[in-house]
Chains A and B, each alone.
Chain A
């Protein structure tokens, strides 16, 4: 138990659906991250928020829309996804953006796009 929770744990959606992934951290951290993990590929950073402000967008397609209403919650809104978007989506948090801070990861949401 890392203090970072993600819901749902599994999600199957069609290409025309709209769904949202939720991440919550109970660690009092100020920075939150979305990563995409695909088989046999390096972990891909998608978005970073620090004190609710987006600080990184790693050229992510607009069909992925993040939202950070406060420092404890992070959402990833999904619409008109493609089959290649099927992956494990991981949320992480850290105390802040200093180099000495490690990241704490949630268990991930396994997304399948049909």
Chain B
């Protein structure tokens, strides 16, 4: 099955850019999602990228996909304290069910 790896923690200063990285193993992944989980809440879909794209930009969010290296990243520009949350990378590899990693806890310092 698919394996998804993410760093557990990322700490940034408010106003800086955050880059959350993810590696996955299934090269047949066609939809690659990013979810955000705020404290005490469920997962909220942030954005996704289709496998025939290299980059997708959505306001402060930029998703980069390197299919050759099976590497996905989420860049948050001008990071705010409200961006503090856990971010999950979730690729779908030929299935309707995504595979979730352990998530990256983003901590934003004032």
Beyond A102-B45, A105-B43, 19 additional contacts (C-beta under 8 Å) are A2-B42, A33-B97, A40-B8, A41-B102, A42-B4, A42-B101, A43-B43, A43-B88, A98-B96, A99-B31, A99-B94, A99-B95, A99-B96, A101-B96, A102-B33, A102-B48, A103-B43, A107-B40, A108-B41
Which residues in A have some Cβ–Cβ distance to B below 8 Å? 2, 4, 6, 31, 33, 40-43, 45, 48, 56, 90, 92, 94, 96-108
Main secondary structure on A side of the interface with B: loop
Taking a contact as CB atoms under 8 Å apart, the answer to whether A99 and B30 are in contact is yes
Which B residues from 48 to 71 make CB contacts under 8 A with A? 48
Q: Verify B44–A42 contact, CB threshold 8 A.
A: no
Whether B75 sits at the interface, judged by CB under 8 Å, is no
| Distance of A104 Cα from B100 Cα, bound (Å) | 14
In the complex, which residue of chain B has the Cβ closest to the Cβ of A110?
B40
What CA separation (Å) do A103 and B41 show in the bound complex? 15
Q: Looking at the complex, which one of B35, B43, B96, B102 makes contact with A94 (CB distance below 8 Å)?
A: B96
